[in-house]
Structure 1
């Protein structure tokens, strides 16, 4: 099951990550987010193998790098990911970034994902960093019902509303990456004030805001205490006024914008 609160593993590797995933699973996380490009699937796999939680109870998302979007390269990438993660079947595979300049036709990549699912290599697939035009192309080829999620940058300062609203219309789940804006939410006065009202942190308030907006979140941390507070954010409830206050913080501040990124809508 695609749980709304996942543990993001970007920039964490080795034994440190294995230990953190084990702690996350003990806390109650059942969704772990990784990617081929992170170079840490093996560390996640070790944790899954060591944990008392059955592997089939843990939903693992991984992502195929844009250099492996050709049909057979994608299938090979997914097989390597399954080996690294020590899972017979990947729960969710995403196109990490669309092919720059459509060098690999999107239809070819989507057909490969459909083949991977047909063969039982993956259970679900989705996309990441997809714009309105890319969503139009993808849904036009395989149908919105076959795309589980679009994972996009989303936090109070970059709310990505055009894409998120279109995903809602299509019935595609939105997964917010970089939800805490690399810690910037901790310094925001509005979030600090709301956090005081709930006796919690601005980070937890931010996650609660995203979750109340029906977004999945995959915050990353190396601190065990933050692992727990991030997970517990799903039990907070913000008032309509507090939600409105956070909505007003949007300033289109995109943090992740590599030179191979698509032309953004916002």
Structure 2
């Protein structure tokens, strides 16, 4: 049975499939409007719409589709409702839903959603499935930008040079592809992939490691867990894992950046 929509569409809108990542911002919207985006588009819901939004893999039974083709994802996997002036995620499926910071919402559990951008991952045995959620920021204070301008300020992105971004996207591509329990690539794998991508460049593992080490050092002034002295041994992949996690949470790198690893769009990297 297909899901129904309220007769009045002024408080509930559709997001087309071509909508870009919600991490990049929102169109003008009322404060605390909910935006949810899946593989085939999504929806926006005003805070006073009284509209429970259902998501899952069976498109005719949900408002936003996620996990298409994966039978481990429930047909109706979750519901987002407005309760006591907060948006609340309810997991009604079997698989857990992972929030930023490795917080898991298990089947039957619930969690409040914060203002700003929140990537939700349905944790499958072979693949994690992304559902993008964003709650429009509250009205700005006097003297601050309002509407759309205020919405983009919920978390500051880190500045990366083109070569830094290329190396970090390559290093963290398993995270961007939503592989289960992702780990950074090895330096040898990064060097080999970048050498194949840019055969005229001198991509050694030492160069890639040096570029990433410089980024970790720069960000360590404000982010903990990026220096070896802060991590008890054995360090392993912890430093790069912490760095990639920070870049994902701040949407400094997103799934759309995987295009940088496309041979057709590759350009020689500047010295780094």
Same fold (TM over 0.5): no
Larger helix fraction of residues? 1
Ranked by relative contact order (alpha carbons within 8 Å, sequence separation 6 or more), the top structure is: 1
TM-score (norm 1): 0.26
TM-score (norm 2): 0.25
Select the structure of larger CA radius of gyration: 2
